[in-house]
Amino acid sequence: MPTTALTDRLTAQFAFLLECDRLKDVFRQSLNTQSRRRENDAEHSWAICLFAVTLAEHSNVPIDVLRVVRMLLIHDVVEIDAGDTFAYDTAAMRDQHEREARAADRIFGLLPADQALAFRAMWDEFEARETAEAKFAHTVDRLQAMLLNCATQGESWRRHGVTHAAVVARNTPIADGSSTLWTYIRGIVDAAVRDGHLAT
């Protein structure tokens, strides 16, 4: 590869990587278990990748774990522009996909053309939730937030007036990737209700 072309490629890749550093300043509603401060998107991305690697054996079908991890690493970068949309904010969710698609165009567009296309295709695959890998990626994405809420005595749920019915309705797609994990987390959520951490 010519030196100029290599330099241009690296410049684009580094621009993308520096842009993604902004995920550290996009805060979610879930709380970290120890500090009880709001989790940021970079922490969330790391956590769900760890969830995927650890829990892959519970997928409903065999999956390409590396493909799942790649999806999880990039699926939230759009929140640099679009912001984090709270899972139970139905009004904000109406135009969520449109906002995030515009962000995907800009942010992935920072990359060299071949990588821009590949990253955008992977983001679209995650959004479509049709492949086994995309279904499992969604499973761990939602599972992690539920587990944090349970581990912090439902503080975020209680702050926003979220009910047990809303949690179940929102997170039922976990079963599409793993019926085992859905059954298990349902038990933890039911315990949160019994403990007074989640309203009925």
Say if 60 falls within a structural domain. yes
What does the alpha-carbon distance between residue 20 and residue 6 come to, in Å, rounded to a whole number? 21
What is the amino acid identity at position 152? Answer: T
CA distance 175 to 138: 10
200 in a domain, yes or no? no
What pLDDT is attached to residue 80? Answer: 97
Q: Quick one: pLDDT band at residue 78, thresholds 50, 70, 90?
A: very high
- Which two structure tokens, joined as six digits, stand for 39? 């989790």
For residue 163, being part of any structural domain is answered with yes
The chain-wide mean pLDDT, for the chain, equals 95
- For residue 93, name the pLDDT band (cuts at 50, 70, 90): confident
Q: How far apart are CA 10 and CA 177, in angstroms?
A: 36
Question: Residue 144's domain spans which residues?
Answer: 3-194
Question: Taking residues 37-58, what's their average pLDDT?
Answer: 97
- Provide the pLDDT for residue 67: 98
pLDDT by residue (tens digit) across 172-194? 999 999 999 999 999 999 999 99
The whole-model pTM stands at: 0.94
In a domain, 35, yes or no: yes
CATH number at residue 48: 1.10.3210.10
| pLDDT tens digits, 114-158 | 999 999 999 999 999 999 999 999 999 999 999 999 999 999 999
- Is pLDDT above 90 for 2? no
Q: Is the pLDDT of residue 53 over 60?
A: yes
* 199 within some domain: no
pLDDT of residue 183: 97
Number of folded domains that form the chain: 1
Instruction: Encode burial over 105-131: b for 16+ CB neighbours within 10 A, e otherwise.
Output: eebbebbbeeebeebbebbebbbeeeb
